[in-house]
Each structure stands twice: as C-alpha cells, then as structure tokens.
Amino acid sequence: MSDEPLFKAAWRANRAYVVDLAFRLLRDIGEAEDVVQVAFSQLLKADIEGIEDVRAWLIVVTSRLCLNRIQSAQRRREQQVDPQNLADAFDHVPALQDPADRVTLDDRVRLALVVMLERLTPAERVVFVLHDIFATPFEAIAETLGRTPAGCRQLARRARQKLQDASDGRQLDVASVEHRHVTEQFITACAGGDLGALITVLDPKVTGDSDYGPRVATGASEVASNILRYWSGQPDNFWAAPITLVSQPVGHETALLAYLRRQLTGVILLNITSERVAKIHVIGNSDTLDFLNAQLRGTKGA
C-alpha cells in the first residue's frame, strides 16, 4: 500500500491525541479506543496525501463518531441521573490510606466535571470539549456539527452556563492553553515511549513521587525514565502491555488517568509551571481508583 508509511506516521503522531479527545466526550476508555479505531480505519481508506491537515481530519471524524454514540446512548437511556444529586455521592468518599492523596479529591466539582457533562445536550458537549478543553476553532467545530460558527458559539455559552449552574456557581475553569499543550506533549511522549521528548516537557529540577513508597526521584532524566518504565504506551513497559493515558483536569492541576487493558491502573498528577512539568505525583491507591471509577461510570447509560 503506497500510503502505508503516511498512515503509520499519522497513527504515531495523532492516536494518543484523539483517544484523549474521545475519552473526554464518551467517558469510557473502551468506547473511546473503539471509536478511534474506526476513525483510523476510515483514514486508511482515504487519500491521505490529499488531506491537508490529518489531525484536523481525525478530530472531525472522531467527534462525529462520538456524537453519534452520545445521541444513541441518550435515546436508549430510560432514566437520566439528576446532576444535582452528585453532591451526595461526593459526601461518601472512601477513607484514603495516605492523607496526601486527598488533595486530588478536594476540588469535587472538577473531578465531577466529566460526569456533569451529562447535563449537556450532545451538541453542547461536543462544542464544550472541542473548544474549551481542546482549543479547536469554532469554524472547525461547525464542520463537525453541520452548524454555523455563530451557532457553535451559542452552544458553548449554553454549555458553560449549565456547568456553572450544576456547580452551584463555583468556578469551572478549564486548563490554560499552555497547560493543555504541555499535557499533549507528555501524553504523546509516553504513548511513543520517547524518552527525549518526555525530558523536554519536564523541568530540569522536576521531582516525582508516588503513594507506593517514600522514595522521591529528582531530575528530568531520572523522572522520565521512571515514568516510561511504568506508564509507556509501548508494550515493553513494566506491565508488559501498552498503557493508555487520557487527561482529566483536577483543580489547578492536571491528572492523567492510566488505563491498562481498559482498567484504571493509576493516576499521574502533573504540576505545570512555566510550560514545564515541575512535579509529578503518582497515585495507585485502590480506594482512590475505585472512587474515580465509580464517578466516571456513575451516570453512564445502560
């Protein structure tokens, strides 16, 4: 196949990005990976050389596939969970073995954002995720939804208002463009097992620790090596199977949810300053992971 090298290059450069996007829209890692597989199968059949911007093409196709799934799920759903009742769920957070882990749960609204997206219509959800989280221009979103850019702006305003109402007026700030860019680079480097690329997004004095033990790693090289040993998307990492990372903002920081064979295996909490990752904390506590799993799946339709 003459386009095979181009296809492989597109896969390496974009798969992690569009899986992250699909996860934000669908809230299920299995569905996200399935949708992305379909998107790339369509790319394989397309004239890649004739596509001016492959990532933009994949964003449009992936978003449309996700939109179809969201609409189908909402049609099947007989009963919708009231987002106003989510506060009760957060009053029953299990006890954590390590008090330091609780910082990842303090901002309950941010952890619940992915759940509160159920409050939005399918079109509002797509616009909010694409524009406010992934910084996609309204013109490109309009192509996905078959609407005008002005109509998409209106959908974004409605989405923000609904999420603000659901959070009782508390601020639902999304990660800055700088943070989003660093997060994308981090995920892409891990997906490709690229040590050099990962080092470039880390502060030279970055520190890394985990709830597995008291040891603290220091310096970009040591921290990057440890991250790839455990959390690489390549099959030769510690777990002997590729890890999939997707992002989830938590308060003023960014958490990467790490999935192994579609099971939540860990959370990598990034502290980003001056366009570099300055501190990394890895959480593997089973109580914390069970809690996050329950919230991610809590309002998923039958």
Decide yes or no: CATH 3.10.450.50 for domain 177-297. yes
* pLDDT bucket at 197, cuts 50 / 70 / 90: very high
If you ran DSSP here, which 8-state letter would residue 102 be given? G
What sign does the CA torsion over 277, 278, 284, 289 have? negative
* pLDDT tens-place string over residues 13-48: 999 999 999 998 998 999 999 999 999 999 999 999
User: Considering the chain, what is the average pLDDT of its residues?
Assistant: 81
Query: Is 288:296 a contact under the CB 8 Å cutoff?
Result: no
The SS3 of residue 238 is coil
Give the separation between CA 297 and CA 275, rounded to whole angstroms: 32
Residues 225-245: what's their mean pLDDT? Answer: 84
- Which class for 267: exposed (0-12), middle (13-18), buried (19 or more C-beta within 10 A)? buried
The distance of Cα 190 from the centroid of its chain, to the nearest Å, equals 14
Are 211 and 100 in contact by the 8 Å Cβ rule? The answer is yes
Residues 6+ apart with CB under 8 A from 142: 148, 149, 151, 152
Place of tokens 């181009």: 6
**Range of lowest pLDDT (70-74, 194-198, 270-274):** 70-74
Q: What is the mean pLDDT of residues 54-72?
A: 92
Domain ranges of the chain: 4-91+106-166, 177-297
Q: What are the DSSP calls for 158-171, one per residue?
A: HHHHHHHHHTTT--
Q: Which of 23, 28, 35 lies closest to 64, judged by CA?
A: 35
For the chain, give the percent of residues with pLDDT over 90: 51
Most confident of 216-225, 242-251, 288-297: 216-225
Q: What is 4-91+106-166's CATH number?
A: 1.20.140.160
Contacts 24+ apart (CB under 8 A), 40-49: 40/7, 40/10, 40/11, 40/15, 43/7, 43/10, 44/3, 44/7, 47/3, 48/3, 48/6, 48/7, 48/10, 49/3, 49/6
Q: What is this structure's pTM?
A: 0.78
Lowest mean pLDDT among 71-85, 138-152, 185-199: 71-85
Structure confidence at residue 71 (pLDDT)? 86
**Which pLDDT belongs to residue 80?**
45
Instruction: Check: CB of residue 118 under 8 Å from CB of residue 258.
Output: no
Contact call for residues 258 and 245 (beta carbons, < 8 A): yes
Give CA 93 to chain center in angstroms: 22
Q: Cα–Cα distances in Å, from 20 out to 50, 141, 148, 177, 209?
A: 25, 17, 25, 16, 24
Cα separation, 55 vs 252, in Å, equals 28
What is the rounded CA–CA span in Å between residue 202 and residue 189? 11
Q: What is the mean pLDDT of residues 283-298?
A: 78
CA angle (281, 199, 6) in 5-degree steps: 115
Q: How confident is the model at residue 73 (pLDDT cuts 50, 70, 90)?
A: confident
